[in-house]
Amino acid sequence: MSNFWSGYIIVLTLITLGLILWLLFATRKGQRPEETDQTVGHSFDGIEEYDNPLPRWWFVLFLATIVFSAVYLVLYPGMGKWPGILGWTQVGQYEEEVADAREQFAPIFAKFADMPVEEVAQDDEAHRIGQRLFAVNCSVCHGSDGRGAYGFPNLTDDEWIWGGEPDQIRTTLNGGRQAAMPAWLAVIGESGVRNAAGYVRSLSGLETEGVDIAAGEQIFKTNCVACHGPDGTGNPLLGAPNLTDDVWLYGASMLQVQQSLRYGRNGNMPSQAHLGEDKLHVLTAYVYSLSKRNTDAEAD
């Protein structure tokens, strides 16, 4: 805030408080009795209002609020750039509360810190804690049940774009992920987009009628194997998805696959490093458990 605007706020605030105080005393009736038969001189529908002063308790209450305001503006920020003599800030208050919370909950997370992720994933208490961490930090994209949505991976199946082992999940949560599927329209043309889309769909056994599969396969071998591999099974190191299963992040229809090829796709998984090591450990175990528990349930 510039000095001009800081001064402007200070002057305006002081003038406002001064006017309120003046108005309060100016309307006080001095030595007049608390009650009188004198009216204000006008009526509404035959009803007249007595010209009585404010009750003393009400007047004192008004004065108390003004004194409180003045004391507050001296102690806390509120007068332009004046920080207040207590030095209070929102950031400081937040950091203090975070520190208190960490001190309070640190023992709870500490007992899981030395346990392998696989063991933490089987602990009911850790599962409940991880579920709450997931709900606050992850559910907005992946859904409260972790089943994802259009453009957001399903975490309850056994298909993982960046890998589903504990270390891989931890890396994803800690550093985030940036996926980039390049646009191919300028390279292979519109007919190439259609043929390549048909070939990609054929890898997972989908209908490919009216498409030159051989031409699409050649385009794939020339441009796509570097990421998705010669057999189309993908590469977790690059975040290149498996194209031979029935899991499609952006849809499996001919139009949707062409859209992915034509204009590319960009996905961003934000880092959750702000949670700290102990919470990340529990959250990793919870995400890991989503697919394992679901897979075990299906096996049963």
What are the binding residues?
138, 141-142, 181, 224, 227-228, 269
Rounded-to-integer distance, Cα 121 and Cα 130, Å: 9
- CA 3 vs CA 10, 11, 281: distances in Å: 10, 12, 48
Cβ neighbours for 291, distance < 8 A, ≥ 6 positions apart: 155, 156, 157, 158, 160, 164
What are the binding residues for heme c?
138, 141-142, 181, 224, 227-228, 269
Rounded-to-integer distance, Cα 261 and Cα 263, Å: 6
Contact 52, 36 (CB under 8 A): yes
**Of 58, 57, 59, 41, which is closest to residue 49 (Cα–Cα)?**
41
Here the tokens at position 149 are 């949505």
Rounded-to-integer distance, Cα 196 and Cα 190, Å: 10
Q: Backbone phi, then psi, for 156, in 5-degree steps?
A: -100, -5
Distance of CA 9 to the CA centre of its chain: 34
Map tokens 């959750």 to a residue.
272
Distance of CA 291 to the CA centre of its chain: 23
Tell me the sheet residues that pair with 240. 235
